[in-house]
Homo-oligomer: A and B are copies of this chain.
Amino acid sequence: MTNEPFKVAVAGLGTVGGGTVKVLQDHAEVIAKRCGRPVVISAVSALSKDGLDFDVSGYDWYGDALDMAENSDADMVVELIGGSDGIAKKVVEAALGAGKHVVTANKALVAHHGAGLDKLANDNGVSLNYEAAVAGGIPVIKSIREGLAGNNITKVQGILNGTCNYILTTMREEGRDFAEVLKDAQELGYAEADPTFDIEGVDAAHKLAILASVAFGVEINFKDVHVEGITHVSAVDIQFAEELGYRIKLLGVALRRNGTIEQRVHPAMVHKSAPISQVEGVFNSVVIDGDAVDTVVLVGRGAGELPTASAVVGDICDIARGLSVPTFSVPVSELEHVPTRPMGEHIGPYYVRLSLLDEPGVFADVAAVLRDHNVSMESMLQHGREEGKPVPVVMTTHETTEANMAAALDEIAALDKVTETPCMIRIEGA
């Protein structure tokens, strides 16, 4: 292997870009030892130099990242601009097309265009690494793609969005409502001014689609991820969860069985004894089930300047060392196309909260509907009663199909004495 310096061009000098520059600067000496060659920044690109709290005077400056991707003499472009399309995509395509390796933290880009970028990287004999796109500093892509290469992976699930986990944790700890906690999170910098991508589950879905592709060796398929956010999780459900021995988490779950892939992001009741239920606040966690390793759990910071930069620099070092691994575990030509299992065929237990007028016979009506749809109740909980007034009634069911559950809930919602749309939350890993 060569001892020539490995030259890196960094596109985007925001939070993660700045962190990456700092880590490469501060640890240049030990990184050179670890990689067997110096890893140097040769060029950087951003809209402006204003407000940078690190020195970029030694690097070629490009006002246009695309220009840098095409024309700089770097061995690699590190794309930290963000966004699934627009300039980020152009920069990555140009870099790969010019025979430069690419490292990116851009989950939206990889989720939407991973298959095409994989092909482009392959055609140009370069690598596309994206550890930082999933679960921040946690080395989860590396663990799946390399450490667990001897496994047939059957399931990957995780807490993939720190904003949602922070909100759900705070709602539980402080008994407060979603809207209020979201506002605080925005003030604390844990949620963006426009939090849609986070709280609607889209960000977690990007990450889940990437995980599913790497874990199962299938072509990435973001559009078929079933996505529900946390905006409808209420303080009362969190309370009931506690009472039933669960915590509510926004989970991403991907599993492969019977020739189909199930990919879903939604709030889930997770039993308190499950390791993932203990992961609180802004932390992320990924749980991997493999046929040899059994279960591996990884926990760490899912976002932030330096944790994310840690993952970016890990990727850079791998490529500087000469490591080449297929982008999504197997070569692009070998990626399987596996049908998505329709959500109606999902099988699992459910938590259901109803608002019922407390009158004789009302529960019998509900029970009859469940029976008609082959849904079997596991437990029922009702606190307080006030005749003629609506009271919350909570049930958990045994395993049933989502189609059965949905049909039963439609019918229950239409009952006279049901005063609100029923709230349904899937129970996971129970």
Interfacial residues, chain A to chain B (CB-CB below 8 A): 1, 19, 23-24, 27, 30-31, 33-36, 131, 137-139, 142-143, 145-152, 217, 275, 278-279, 290-301, 304, 306-307, 309-314, 316-318, 321-326, 329-331, 334
Q: Which of A31, A142, A292 is the most central at the interface, judged by chain B CB atoms within 10 Å of its CB?
A: A292
Contact call B313/A34, Cβ cutoff below 8 A: no
- The 13 sampled A-B contact pairs (Cβ below 8 Å) are A23-B150, A23-B292, A24-B150, A34-B145, A138-B296, A146-B317, A149-B314, A150-B310, A292-B313, A296-B300, A297-B299, A298-B299, A321-B323
Contact call B35/A293, Cβ cutoff below 8 A: no
Contact call A292/B306, Cβ cutoff below 8 A: yes
Considering the complex of A and B, which 7 residue pairs feature the smallest CB-CB distances, nearest first? Answer: A139-B147, A150-B313, A137-B293, A292-B310, A293-B310, A297-B299, A296-B300
Given the known interface contacts A143-B143, A321-B323, A325-B321, the answer about A150 and B31 at a Cβ–Cβ threshold of 8 Å is: yes
Known: A35-B149, A294-B301. 8 other contacts (CB 8 A): A19-B292, A27-B150, A30-B152, A137-B292, A146-B146, A296-B300, A297-B297, A297-B299
Q: Which residue of B lies closest to A287 (CB)?
A: B299
Q: Is the interface of A mostly helix, strand, loop or mixed?
A: mixed
Contact call A150/B317, Cβ cutoff below 8 A: yes
CB neighbours of A143 from chain B (8 A): 139, 142-143, 147
CB neighbours of A318 from chain B (8 A): 146, 149
Contact call B137/A294, Cβ cutoff below 8 A: yes
Contact call A306/B294, Cβ cutoff below 8 A: yes
Given the known interface contacts A147-B131, A147-B311, A323-B321, the answer about A329 and B34 at a Cβ–Cβ threshold of 8 Å is: yes
Contact of A152 among B27, B36, B304, B324 (CB under 8 A): B27
Alpha-carbon distance A306/B300, docked complex (angstroms): 26
Contact call A330/B34, Cβ cutoff below 8 A: yes
Alpha-carbon distance A313/B318, docked complex (angstroms): 19
CB neighbours of A152 from chain B (8 A): 27, 30
Alpha-carbon distance A234/B307, docked complex (angstroms): 40
CB neighbours of A36 from chain B (8 A): 326, 331
CB neighbours of A150 from chain B (8 A): 23-24, 27, 31, 309-310, 312-314, 316-317
Alpha-carbon distance A1/B34, docked complex (angstroms): 22
Q: Which residue of B lies closest to A24 (CB)?
A: B150
Q: Which residue of B lies closest to A306 (CB)?
A: B292
Alpha-carbon distance A152/B131, docked complex (angstroms): 19
Contact of A275 among B149, B293, B299, B326 (CB under 8 A): B299
CB neighbours of A35 from chain B (8 A): 149
Q: Which residue of B lies closest to A299 (CB)?
A: B297
Q: Which residue of B lies closest to A320 (CB)?
A: B149
